[in-house]
């Protein structure tokens, strides 16, 4: 029987049976009785093309790093399909390509295992860092902890943990459980510290609230005494400052009450002060006139006359009485300037007339005068005898003693 159609990888006999050629020989792949030999070959060539496309697609997946297990499973499936393929084409070439993919799969498996191992190690390190950050928060001194900030940081760490758990690689069970146990213990410690801190703070706030409420009641009880109670209110204010904090909202409300009680007293004092200032305004006029008189003493250089005039001014000053409060410092500073001037004059006189200093000065003058007389005699004797060396020495000493005598006022 002669073939009615053939090509390098297959043929069709006169009965319409289709054969494929491989390295193992020729085998029947099927029949196509209702078409021409060319159509029969074309039909089975299309089946080959489908297999070749599947192999090419798998090669691409392997190059792109598809999971090695998936590639290996697909290789095995395609190898079985090629070995018994009802197709016409270079089946041996497809088998070789699949065999090469098997070797690639082994390499890919080793590579992906190494990458997976490295990813797990990195994930353990990252999750360990999260745990250590939580443990560092738990180790803080509760009394010094900024709880709002610490709570926010702990929430952020927990969010990182959850995101890492969902998106990261699966950790070995033992490591995962141990890390979670540490993280949970840190969270529990922080929560215990937070509750204890705020419980203690609440107790302290209650005590402070009680003390401040009592201070408010004492301040309000001062109202009937008006301006006379301002000093006592200021003492209560000192106690208030030492009482501590009762929490911002409560503190603001308590302070408003305490301040209102003080405002009543200060308002009464302001009214009294205003009345007094009006009465004292005439005194201010008199004291300003007296200061103009006192300012003239700034030109006086005789301490006795200056002191007598100042004493008279000071007596009249006291007799005039008070001035308005906002002028007290102004007038007192002017009077103090005159007082300091007179005091300076008296100190200068004392320096000049100090008995001890005068005695010391007079004693020195006498000694110098005696020394000068003696040196004058020695100089005359040296000149008479013609002893120039002795004369020069006596002359030099004599000039020095005369200079000293002039310096001390002799």
Q: In terms of domains, do 135 and 104 share one? A: no
Cα-to-chain-centroid distance, residue 285 = 58
Domain of residue 84 covers 3-112
* The domain boundary residue, chosen from 255, 275, 295: 275
- Residue 107 has a pLDDT of 67
Question: Which tokens is 16 given?
Answer: 């319409």
* The domain boundary residue, chosen from 202, 227, 244: 202
Beta strands 17-22 and 10-13 are antiparallel
Q: In terms of domains, do 349 and 364 share one? A: no
Interatomic CA distance for residues 103 and 267, integer angstroms: 99
- Residue 109 has a pLDDT of 63
226-277 per-position pLDDT tens digit: 888 889 989 988 988 888 887 777 888 888 998 998 898 888 888 777 776 7
Q: In terms of domains, do 95 and 12 share one? A: yes
Q: In terms of domains, do 235 and 336 share one? A: no
To the question of pTM greater than 0.75 for the whole model, the response is no
Q: In terms of domains, do 340 and 263 share one? A: no
* Helix (DSSP H) and strand (DSSP E) numbers for the chain: 11, 4
Q: In terms of domains, do 262 and 329 share one? A: no
Sign of CA dihedral 229, 235, 237, 240: negative
Q: In terms of domains, do 98 and 182 share one? A: no
Q: In terms of domains, do 198 and 229 share one? A: no
Domains in the chain: how many in total?
A: 5
Q: In terms of domains, do 169 and 261 share one? A: no
- Any idea what the Cα angle at residue 44 is, between residues 38 and 46, rounded to 5°? 100
Q: String of b and e for 172-185 (b: at least 16 CB within 10 Å)? A: eeeeeeebeebbee
Q: In terms of domains, do 248 and 330 share one? A: no
Q: In terms of domains, do 13 and 108 share one? A: yes
Q: In terms of domains, do 331 and 243 share one? A: no
* The domain boundary residue, chosen from 86, 112, 138: 112
147-177 per-position pLDDT tens digit: 888 889 889 988 988 888 888 788 888 888 8
């Amino acid at each position: 029987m002669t073939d009615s159609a053939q090509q390098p990888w297959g043929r069709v006999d006169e009965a319409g049976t289709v054969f494929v050629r491989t390295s193992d020989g020729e085998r029947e792949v099927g029949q196509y009785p209702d078409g021409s030999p060319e159509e029969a070959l074309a039909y089975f060539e299309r089946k080959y093309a489908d297999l070749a496309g599947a192999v090419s697609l798998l090669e691409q997946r392997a190059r792109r790093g598809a999971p090695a297990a998936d590639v290996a499973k697909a290789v095995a499936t395609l190898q079985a399909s090629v070995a018994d393929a009802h197709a016409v084409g270079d089946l041996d070439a497809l088998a070789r390509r699949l065999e090469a993919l098997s070797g690639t799969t082994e390499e890919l498996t080793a590579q992906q295992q190494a990458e997976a191992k490295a990813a797990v190690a990195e994930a353990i390190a990252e999750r360990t860092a999260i745990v250590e950050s939580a443990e560092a928060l738990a180790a803080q001194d509760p009394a010094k902890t900024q709880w709002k900030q610490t709570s926010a940081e702990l929430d952020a760490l927990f969010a990182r943990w959850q995101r890492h758990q969902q998106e990261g690689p699966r950790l070995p069970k033992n490591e995962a459980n141990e890390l979670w146990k540490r993280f949970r213990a840190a969270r529990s410690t922080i929560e215990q510290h937070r509750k204890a801190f705020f419980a203690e703070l609440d107790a302290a706030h209650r005590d402070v609230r009680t003390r401040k409420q009592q201070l408010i009641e004492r301040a309000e009880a001062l109202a009937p005494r008006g301006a006379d109670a301002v000093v006592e209110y200021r003492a209560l204010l000192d106690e208030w400052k030492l009482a501590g904090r009762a929490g911002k909202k409560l503190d603001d409300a308590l302070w408003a009450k305490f301040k209102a009680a003080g405002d009543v007293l200060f308002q009464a004092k302001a009214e009294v002060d205003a009345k007094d200032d009006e009465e004292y305004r005439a005194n201010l006029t008199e004291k300003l006139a007296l200061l103009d008189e006192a300012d003239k003493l700034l030109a006086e250089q005789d301490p006795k006359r200056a002191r007598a005039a100042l004493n008279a001014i000071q007596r009249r000053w006291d007799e005039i009485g008070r001035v308005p409060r906002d002028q007290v410092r102004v007038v007192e500073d002017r009077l103090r300037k005159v007082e300091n001037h007179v005091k300076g004059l008296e100190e200068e006189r004392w320096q000049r007339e100090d008995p001890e200093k005068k005695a010391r000065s007079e004693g020195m003058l006498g000694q110098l005068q005696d020394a000068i007389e003696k040196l004058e005699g020695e100089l005359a004797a040296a000149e008479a005898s013609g002893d120039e060396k002795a004369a020069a020495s006596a002359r030099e000493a004599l000039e020095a003693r005369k200079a000293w005598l002039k310096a001390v006022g002799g």
